[in-house]
Structure 1
Amino acid sequence: MQAPICIYPATPADAGIISRIIERSIRVGCALEHRNDPQLVSRWIARQSADVISARLADPHCYLNIALLQDKPVGVGMATASGNIGFCHVQPEWFRRGAGRALLTDLEGWLRMHGVPQVSIASTRTGAAFYRHLGYCEAASPASEQGLHCVALHKPLPVPG
């Protein structure tokens, strides 16, 4: 039987662990996207440094969460009040155990509570299948963002009545 996944809202004290989870997810889990190009990896990781994460944690329009599995932080996610999923990263050795789904469910719940009718994300090509599986649809043609190929996806969110 699989251990339960615990999702909790991130705090300022979590900035370092969030940044490290994202970095490992990018370096290992997203290798097909960046093709081990050191400049591309560096630019991608720099956008998720502990300082950048700290600023997002201080922003009341951002919500960051952390997934724990077997009492270990295994994944992180972020949504903005404008309805955008900024990221959803799970450490590669914890893929396909439900952490990503749990993170997204929590992020979507936060967005619903803020009256957001639709969520969007710019996904990597490899991540797009995960989001499609959870009900996301392509919103536009694939594009390129800072050397990475992105797939724009969206999903309607029924707002609680």
Structure 2
Amino acid sequence: MDEPIHTCKATPADAGIINRIIERSIRVGCALDHRNQPQVVATWTQNQTHENIQLWLSDQQLYLNLALLHDKPVGVAMASNQGQVAFCYVMPEWFRRGVGQALVRDLEGWLINQGLRQSRLNSTRTGEAFYRRLGYQPQAEPLTVAGLPVIPMHKALSKV
């Protein structure tokens, strides 16, 4: 039986591991999106710095969570109190094991507790099927963000 995935609110002490998870997930796990083009990777990762992560962690309008497996951080996600899921990154060796789903479900619970009824995000092509499985639907034509084509998606949130 698989070990349960635990999610928790990230703390300032987690900034270093958050940075490493994001960097590895983008560079290795998202290669189909950026096609190992150095300029696209640089644009995508430029604001994912330790300093910015510290700022995000101190911002009361944002919620960053970690996914832990065997007490080891394996994923991170972030949402704003305006209903925008900013990102969901998982260490590539933990893809397709429920880590991303646990992270997004935790974010959605936080958004519901903020009184929101809808969640929005911009998905890469690689992430689109993942978000569709979680109930997100495209809401507009694809656009380009940080040199990458993304699909604006949304989902109605409800208490379960």
Question: Shorter-normalised TM-score: what interval?
Answer: over 0.9
Give the whole-Å Cα distance in 2 for the aligned partners of 1:85 and 1:51. 20
Give the whole-Å Cα distance in 2 for the aligned partners of 1:146 and 1:104. 22
Partner of 2:131: 131
Shift of 1:70: 2.0
Unaligned runs of 5+ residues in structure 1 are none
Partner of 2:81: 81
Partner of 1:12: 12
Give the whole-Å Cα distance in 1 for the aligned partners of 2:118 and 2:16. 30
* Aligned AA (2:122): A
Equivalent residues of 1:113, 1:159 under 8 A apart: no
Give the whole-Å Cα distance in 2 for the aligned partners of 1:81 and 1:126. 25
Deviations 1:9-37 (A, max 9, x none): 00011111111100000000000111101
Identity %: 57
Partner of 2:98: 98
Deviations 1:19-67 (A, max 9, x none): 1100000000000111101111112112211111111111000000000
* Aligned AA (1:147): G
* Aligned AA (2:84): N
Query: What CA RMSD, in Å, does the superposition of the two structures yield over aligned residues?
Result: 1.0
TM-score (norm 2): 0.97
* Aligned AA (2:17): I
Partner of 1:34: 34
Partner of 2:141: 141
Shift of 1:150: 0.3
Unaligned runs of 5+ residues in structure 2 are none
Shift of 1:159: 5.3
Equivalent residues of 1:117, 1:159 under 8 A apart: no
Equivalent residues of 1:74, 1:90 under 8 A apart: yes
1:72 and 2:72 aligned:
yes
* Aligned AA (1:28): V
TM-score (norm 1): 0.97
The runs of 4+ residues in structure 1 deviating greater than 2 Å are none
Shift of 1:146: 2.1
Shift of 1:71: 2.0
1:61 and 2:61 aligned:
yes
Equivalent residues of 2:125, 2:149 under 8 A apart: yes
